[in-house]
Structure 1
Amino acid sequence: MSDREQQRIEFLKSSGLADAARAPLPGDASTRRYERLTTPRGATLMLMDQAPAAESPPCDPAWSADERRAHGWNAVARLSAGRIEAFAAVAAHFRDAGLSAPEIIAVDAPNGLAVIEDYGDDLFARVIETGEPEAPLYLAAVDALARLHLVATLPSEIDGPAGRWPLLTYDAVALQGGVDLFVEWMPKLHPDLDFGEAAVDEWRAAWAPIAAMGEAKAWTVTHRDYHAENLIWLPGRADHRRVGMIDFQDAVLAHPVWDLHSLLQDARRDVPPEIEDAALDHYFDVMMVDRAAYRRDYAALAALNEARILGVFARLIARDGKPRYRQFMPRVWGHLNANLKKPGLEVVASWFNRHVPDARRG
């Protein structure tokens, strides 16, 4: 028996769940793992397992840009490093806002273990595959975002059952660091793409105004990975609480369109254009914002995120030996190519036209 398994057993015993049956769930691209627990009475819960030493440290709010780069990717991108205390604090913040985030039943933050409420397996993506109409789900997801974005008080730290956690801004350093994954990793996947020093300098200059805009307009809490594989349909609940949220431990302050484009320009599934338009119009109506300005920002930050995602997928394939991520790349390229035609992205579009041939953009 491994030391980690012994820790799990001891944690479940101390949580009164020593007799629960354990069933591991399939993994994803993270270092986190889950097990479904079934008690002798038939109730189910989830065991979240995130070994604290598995990743580089999260960002200290006091670190400069250079210090963040020295401490590694999680600090640059302002990721939580999967810390259980981050998940617990964000869950508490979402629940306080009236949203559906899992209740924390038991937690051992130093060892990276928690038992949380089980929302079941009805991910948006799965229930849509079984025939559930898409539009009501996406409109409910937008209602949940609007509810989150209407929360007036945003402290620099949020409280949870495992302690306080900083609520950091998704700033220009993080945004630029993310989009730079494209020029770092795409040539490793496709050696015919040769981005020399001058091309990389042009790349960074082209994206800098968009990254600066993203930081300047970062005024709301953002889930950061808000899409149909991280939302669970809870039809027994009312209104926006029908949207069960998971995988939100990397929440930051960001531009409100970030979660909108994650939801509506999904890397893993096609969202019909009419649903994207209806969902955006619904959000604009609820929030009473400048539609034209938000549309411009939506296209710009969506393009940045799609370039980032392509870099992440290239890294997963080239470095980590996970070829299944190839299947998502044509869809992401489709979104990016469409956004590059929008106003305000002319400089970025010119860079792609000069450095990435059409044969490599799909």
Structure 2
Amino acid sequence: MIELNYQLAKKFIDRNLSSLNLASQEYDINKLASDASFRSYYRIKFKNNLVSLMLMYAPVTHERIDHFIHVDKFLVEHNLSAPQIRAIDEENGFLLLEDFGDNTFTRVLKDNPKLELDLYKKACDVLVELHNIDDKISLESYNNHVMIREVMLFIDWYLQLTNKKISLSQIANYKKLWFELFDKISITKKVVVLRDYHADNLMLLNNKDNYKSIGLLDFQDALIGSPVYDLISLLDDIRRDIAKENRLELYNYFIAKTNYQAENFFQDCEIISLQRNVKILGIFARLVLRDKKDKYLDYIPRVKYFVECRLNSSNPIFNDIKILLNNFIN
């Protein structure tokens, strides 16, 4: 983690206070828990005011904030609850953002588990609203080559973590089998995919109603891809279990809200779930080996569980890749 230059951050905050009607207000800067990226977040709490802001710091040597700004503006313009941007310093990687508070899905559901189905239906409603936006946004396509690049993280990092060897011919076959799976994803309308759409990045906003009560975070890696990707991110949550009966109801709820044929929908979900979780095994291995973030070792068994669920599908399209992956996952 690259440490925040507090002096530089304070200068950025101070020069924007007047435009926010907070001139001369004293404040504290409190760091929040970090995630898997190089970004870090800080709550700016004003001592004589109920207002607070979020400072996002994205080290310019490792991250770019222009993509976050681009996606954020698109979401806000289309009445989805992304944080309002209050001030920008691209040169130093600073953003001042609206503070959505602390009510992540994870935190709310820990105290009120009976709210799970209602909250997750609202999260599905957000996706339906997002997918129904006709305006175009310039984003990279989440195509087969991007997905192959992602599953190669498993080869490059997870096998290194587990001391497994793989031959060049096996790697070639690995890529071939993935391309064959990706070609089976149904041709549907391509939509904005937020990519990290899960309980830690979804906020409950008590001052808003319906789908607008769901605050969105961590969408700077958005791409254009399959409508089921974010649904899979939501339901294959590595950090929290979703009740089995709720998961099935949410699948059916999403199908009813969209034009998906059920057969295509479930096959697309299985393929994208497998791809996503194999990629995550590679990402978590990289976080452990390269970034020395050993806490991600604790999540690997759960990711493997999701992979194994898909490999054990009754759908025969997974038979060949199951044989190959089983040699390296267990």
Scaled by the length of structure 2, what TM-score is found?
0.91
CA drift of 1:218 comes to 6.8
Per the alignment, residue 49 of structure 2 pairs with 41
1:113 aligns with 2:114: no
- How far did residue 130 of structure 1 move? 1.1
For residues 218 and 172 of structure 1, what CA distance do their matches in structure 2 show?
16
Alignment of 1:283-294 (within 5 A): 283-294=254-265
Q: Which residue of 2 aligns with 1:141?
A: 123
Which amino acid is 1:283 matched to?
A: F
Does 2:330 align with 1:349?
Answer: no
> Would the aligned equivalents of 2:277 and 2:303 in 1 still touch at CA under 8 Å?
yes
Deviation at 1:211, TM superposition (A): 3.7
Query: Secondary structure in 2 aligned to 1:345?
Result: helix
Look up the match of 2:109.
128
Q: Are the structure 2 counterparts of residues 215 and 25 from structure 1 closer, same or farther at C-alpha, using a change threshold of 3 Å? A: farther
Cα distance, 1:138 vs. partner? 0.8
Measured after TM superposition, the shift of residue 239 of structure 1 is 0.7
Report if the CA contact (8 A) 1:172-1:215 is conserved: no
Within the alignment, does 1:194 sit opposite 2:175 as a pair? no
Aligned to 1:185: 157
Paired position in structure 2 for 1:32:
39
Report the secondary structure of 1:46's partner residue. Answer: strand
Q: Please give the secondary structure, in 1, of the residue aligned with 2:174.
A: helix
Displacement of 1:213 after TM fit? 5.4
In the TM superposition, what is the alpha-carbon distance from 1:208 to its structure 2 partner? Answer: 1.1
The whole-number CA distance in structure 2 between the counterparts of 1:145 and 1:3 is 34
The 3-state SS of whatever aligns with 1:31 is coil
CA contact (8 A) 2:185 2:267 kept: no
1:57-206 pair list within 5 angstroms: 81=63, 83-133=64-114, 134-156=116-138, 167-191=139-163, 193-206=164-177
Question: Residues 218, 267 of structure 1: CA spacing in aligned structure 2 closer, same or farther, 3 A cutoff?
Answer: farther
Question: Normalization by structure 1: what TM-score?
Answer: 0.83
Determine whether 1:234 maps to 2:205: yes
For 1:155 and 1:168, the matched residues in 2 are separated by 10
Given that residues 233 and 244 in structure 1 are in contact (C-alpha distance below 8 angstroms), is that contact kept between their aligned partners in structure 2? Answer: yes
Q: Deviations over 1:137-194 (max 9, x none)?
A: 11111011111011112233xxxxxxxxxx1111222110111111111222111x21
Q: How far off is 1:320 after superposition?
A: 2.2
Give the letter for the 1:106 counterpart: A
Q: Does the aligned pair in 2 maintain the 1:31–1:50 contact within 8 Å?
A: yes
Work out the CA distance in 1 between the residues paired with 2:287 and 2:189. Answer: 29
Equivalences, count? 318
Cα distance in 1 between the residues matched to 2:31 and 2:203: 18
State the Cα distance separating 1:216 from its structure 2 match. 6.1
Distance 1:269 1:259 in 2: 16
- What code does the residue aligned with 2:162 have? H
Aligned identity (percent) is 30
Q: Tell me if the contact between 2:54 and 2:99 (Cα under 8 Å) persists in the aligned partners.
A: yes
Secondary structure (helix, strand or coil) at the match of 1:140 reads helix
> Which residue is 1:69 aligned to?
none
Report the secondary structure of 2:54's partner residue.
Answer: strand
Aligned residue in 2 for 1:280:
251
**Inter-CA distance 120–270: structure 2 relative to 1 (3 Å threshold):** same
Alignment counterpart, residue 243 of structure 1, candidates 203, 214, 218: 214
Which residue is 2:9 aligned to?
A: 8
* 1:22 paired residue number: 29
What is the Cα deviation at residue 112 of structure 1? 1.0
Name stretches of at least 5 consecutive residues in structure 2 with no aligned partner: none
- The answer for the alignment partner of 1:301 in structure 2 is 272
Amino acid of the structure 1 residue aligned with 2:142: Y
Could you list the per-position Cα deviations for residues 256-308 of structure 1 after superposition, in whole angstroms to 9, with x for gaps in the alignment?
A: 11101100011112122221111111111011321110110110011011000
Q: How well do the aligned residues superpose, as a CA RMSD in angstroms?
A: 1.9
* Alpha-carbon distance, 1:26 to partner: 1.6
User: Cα 1:282–1:42, aligned 2, differ >3 Å: closer, same or farther?
Assistant: same
Q: Distance in 1 between the 2:226 and 2:310 partners?
A: 17
Question: 1:176–1:211: 8 Å Cα contact kept in structure 2?
Answer: no
